[in-house]
Structure 1
Amino acid sequence: MMESRPGERVLAGVFAFIAGFIDSVGFLYLGGVFLSFMSGNTTRSATAIVDGNWDMVRVAGGCIIFFLLGVINGAFTKRIVVRALEETRGREFVLVNVSFWFVLSSVLIELEHHSAAIIALSIGVGTMNSIFERNGEVAIPLTYMTGTLVRTGQRFVDAFFDGRHLVWILNLSLWLSLSVGAIAGALAYRLLGIHAVELMTLITLVTVAINQLVRDHRRRAGLPL
């Protein structure tokens, strides 16, 4: 987070919010299975195998598989675009890719193909992990926060040993963004049911559009991207 520009930090916070929103909606709709927390789904699958709950194994295992496919999709998109165009275009195309899956999910919900909509949503969430990819690694995690909380604790201690308080505050803010998103997602699901996904899709589209306008301005001005 420290290496990122303020605008990138804001974008990361918004997408962490979106990840939390989606995870809550998926968790409530699927009855305790996550769309972004794959460690939790691994535990759910493992305990379900022991209990012989094969429906849970299928649902939790399926979410893991489609999330992984989304990660592959995002990484593939980033690498193809970087090779064909330039490094700075990679994030923009990944964001368009994410938007596509969320729009598809919303359309499928309107057509009452809810299971297919959840699959599209899972792929979209997995794809999000390539938004802040640098040198083949995730620079800012958006869909998982265990490592972020660990860094928050470590950098908090470092602040008393010649470190900077801003470092742990930035990490904590990312976790808070996901938490607020999760609360918002749960509230939206109580009000709208699975159609809460459409609200999340609108937020995503607006965010991606604003990000593109900002990047186009910075590109014309010769500013870093």
Structure 2
Amino acid sequence: MHSIDASRRALAIAAAALAGFVDAAGFLSANGYFVSFMSGNTTRLGVDLIEAPQVALIPASLIAGFVAGVTGGAIIAAKAGERRKVAVLGLVALLLALAALCRMSGAQGAMLALLVLAMGALNNTFQRGGEVTVGLTYMTGALVRMGQGLAARLMGTGGEAWSGWLFLWLGLSVGAVGGALGWTRAPEATLWSAALWAGGLALTARRLPAA
């Protein structure tokens, strides 16, 4: 987070909040599986293989879909060049809108597939040299970096950027609360809100200097 400017840090936090929002909605709709947190799905896969092999295909499919989303998003980011943020976030908005349409038509499986594709693609928003610089749908790395930064601050050896990772985690956490609240009250509106949110992020990214 310390390697990007303030406007891009704000965009990253807002995108992480979107990831938390969608993941909470997906979690509630998928009986405890995730659409962005693949570490959790990997653990569920291991447990399901032992306790309920007949449902192990669910987390396996979600993991495969996430990888497909990352792959597709990476290709689009590479093709878009300096405007990759706009292209990736536009793709995410489209996938979320399609997921909302599937929800309206009762196509639960297709909805989950589109949500997981969107969350995989989202991680290509921040890249340098083809590598992800800020993971937006998983926070373990962010918490590790925050802890390392705090340790450096306590020892007087640096670590000034630790708060950036804290705000990234808070963004996802607040988004998750909003997604859970929205899904329990108005599921379809929640997905449309997520699509509009992603579209708004794409418009915001368009205003940023190319990088």
TM-score w.r.t. length of structure 1: 0.88
Instruction: Give the match's secondary structure for 1:103.
Output: helix
Q: Which stretch shows the higher mean deviation, 133-142 or 107-116?
A: 107-116
How many residues of Structure 1 are paired with residues of Structure 2 in the alignment? 211
- Find the structure with the greater CA-based Rg: 1
Q: Determine whether 1:102 maps to 2:101.
A: no
Cα separation, 1, equivalents of 2:29 and 2:132: 28
Q: What is the match of residue 118 of structure 1?
A: 112
**Residue 13 (structure 1) aligns with:** 13
* SS of residue in 1 equivalent to 2:32: coil
Q: Deviations over 1:195-222 (max 9, x none)?
A: 421121122212222332x23xx46xxx
Correspondence for 2:27: 27
In structure 1, distance between residues paired with 2:79 and 2:93: 18
Unaligned runs of 5+ in 1: 83-87, 220-224
**Which gives a bigger RCO, structure 1 or 2 (Cα 8 Å, sep 6+)?**
2
Query: Over the residues paired in the alignment, what is the CA RMSD in angstroms?
Result: 1.5
CA contact (8 A) 1:155 1:163 kept: no
Contact 1:109 1:195 (8 Å CA) reproduced: no
Are 1:199 and 2:193 counterparts?
yes
Runs of at least 4 residues off by over 6 Å: none
Counterpart CA distance in 2 for 1:138 and 1:39 is 17
Greater mean alpha carbon deviation, residues 24-33 or residues 155-164:
155-164
Normalising by structure 2, report the TM-score. 0.94
In the other structure, the counterpart of 2:50 is: 50
Deviation, structure 1 residue 22: 0.9
Give the structure 2 partner of residue 78 of structure 1: 77
Quote the Cα distance in structure 2 between the aligned partners of 1:93 and 1:154.
Answer: 33
Equivalent position to 2:150, from 156, 160, 179 = 156
Q: Which has the higher mean CA deviation after the structures are superposed, 108-117 or 172-181?
A: 108-117
Deviations 1:76-117 (A, max 9, x none): 1112233xxxxx122221122112211211222222222211
Give the SS at the match of 2:155: coil
Maintained 8 Å contact 2:145/2:162: yes
Shift of 1:148: 0.6
Q: Distance in 2 between matches of 1:130 and 1:210?
A: 16
CA gap of 1:91–1:203, structure 2 versus 1, over 3 A, is: closer
Aligned AA for 1:178? L
- Structure 2 alignment gaps of length 5 or more: none
Alignment check: 8 A CA contact 2:85 2:205 kept: no
